Amino acid sequence: MSQASTLHKINESVIGSVSRLKKIAITSGKGGVGKTNVVVNLGVALTGMGMKVAILDADYGLGNIDILLGIEPQLDISDLLKDAAALEDIMIEKNGLLIIPAGSGVQSLTQLSEYQEILLYKELKKLEKMADLLIIDTAAGISDNVISLLLAADEVILVVSPDNTSIVDSYAVIKVAAELDAFKSFTVITNMVRDEEEGTDVFLKFSRAVKKFLNREVHYLGYVLKDENLLTAMKYQEPVLQKFPDAACSKNFLQLAGELKKRVEQMEPGPAQKFRLDF
């Protein structure tokens, strides 16, 4: 069965065509671009701005949000997907965030079955009563798991580094997702850049390619500077925004979160499009 057909079946199976929960998927074409640090620090910043934020670590087999936050989950997404635990059993509150931890080193989680996807989305609907926003930290690349989550989100944010392979692989993510949802909105954060100018240059290079070959527009949320303070914070297993609030990258995260909060507040849940998963 094709990916598109499977997604359409799941969409029909999930209860409710409209969700009050706003959902942002943060993804990347390749690993090593700092995506999970972006997820965690944006979540912390938005929480500080009064939002109730949940984070789904959706790199199901190789999750690392727990490592970045210094938590040791007793249960994780693998238990939920085995029908051995409910969402409230595996969720952990840390740094003001509701964390849904992934499994680690579980090969079977890298390719979910249709039943597991339906189960996951139905459990996530419970977040409507707990959070204003769900941030989905996807795995890198264009696996079926990743594309399913991108289609489920109200908006997709791509974390792109100055590395040419990051730009090329991020282009591939948009190409695949846009073929399945012509209305999907894509936003870019440039990460680990030397300065504002390099961040803008990376975005322009990427957006021109997307416009030329896919005839799609992408939005620019902003940039995060390459900062040694972030690496130090990782060693302490703390978000850099809390460990070093005056660091250059911390100021970048606060600015990005401010812009993102405005976008989230303007989101209007609407009826599901074809192949769009709602939870």
Residue 273 has pLDDT above 60, yes or no: no
- Residue 260, domain member (yes or no): yes
The answer for residues whose C-beta is within 8 angstroms of residue 239's C-beta and 6 or more apart is 40, 41, 44, 68, 69, 95, 233
Average pLDDT of the residues in 196-206: 98
Query: Distance between CA 248 and CA 239 in Å, rounded?
Result: 14
Query: Distance between CA 176 and CA 146 in Å, rounded?
Result: 11
- Residue 145, domain member (yes or no): yes
Average pLDDT of the residues in 259-277: 70
Residue 263 has pLDDT above 90, yes or no: yes
pLDDT at 18: 43
Query: Distance between CA 134 and CA 116 in Å, rounded?
Result: 19
Query: Distance between CA 275 and CA 268 in Å, rounded?
Result: 19
- Residue 31, domain member (yes or no): yes
Residue 1 has pLDDT above 60, yes or no: no
Among 127-131, 220-224, 274-278, the range scoring the smallest mean pLDDT is 274-278
Confidence band (pLDDT; 50, 70, 90) for 178? very high
- Residue 276, domain member (yes or no): no
pTM score of the predicted model: 0.89
Which residues are bridge partners to 152 per DSSP? none
Note the pLDDT tens digit of each residue in 74-110: 998 889 988 999 999 999 999 999 999 986 655 555 6
pLDDT at 271: 45
99 contacts 93 by C-beta, under 8 angstroms = yes
Query: Distance between CA 77 and CA 57 in Å, rounded?
Result: 9
CA nearest to 29, candidates 169, 139, 192, 186? 169
Give, in order, the Cα–Cα distances in Å from 194 to each of 30, 64, 179, 226, 235: 20, 26, 34, 6, 22
- Residue 275, domain member (yes or no): no
Q: How many domains are there within the chain?
A: 1
CATH number for the domain that contains residue 39:
3.40.50.300
- Residue 27, domain member (yes or no): yes
Confidence band (pLDDT; 50, 70, 90) for 174? very high
Query: Distance between CA 145 and CA 109 in Å, rounded?
Result: 9
The rounded mean pLDDT for the chain is 87
Q: What φ, ψ does residue 210 adopt, rounded to 5°?
A: -65, -40
Average pLDDT of the residues in 50-68: 86
- Residue 249, domain member (yes or no): yes
Residue 250 has pLDDT above 50, yes or no: yes
Residue 241 has pLDDT above 90, yes or no: yes
Residue 192 has pLDDT above 70, yes or no: yes
- Residue 278, domain member (yes or no): no
pLDDT at 16: 37
Sheet with 155-160: strands ordered across: 92-94, 97-100, 53-58, 133-138, 22-27, 155-160, 186-193, 219-225
Average pLDDT of the residues in 104-133: 80
pLDDT at 19: 64
Q: Are strands 22-27 and 92-94 parallel, antiparallel or unpaired?
A: unpaired
Residue 126 tokens read as 């419970």
Average pLDDT of the residues in 117-133: 90
Amino acid, single-letter form, for residue 60: Y
pLDDT at 52: 96
| DSSP notation for 61-74 | TB--HHHHHT---S
CA nearest to 134, candidates 58, 224, 222? 58
pLDDT at 12: 42
Q: What φ, ψ does residue 29 adopt, rounded to 5°?
A: -75, -30
Among 150-154, 189-193, 201-205, 229-233, the range scoring the smallest mean pLDDT is 150-154
Q: Which domain holds residue 158?
A: 3-266
Query: Distance between CA 243 and CA 68 in Å, rounded?
Result: 12
Residue 67 has pLDDT above 80, yes or no: yes
Average pLDDT of the residues in 161-177: 96
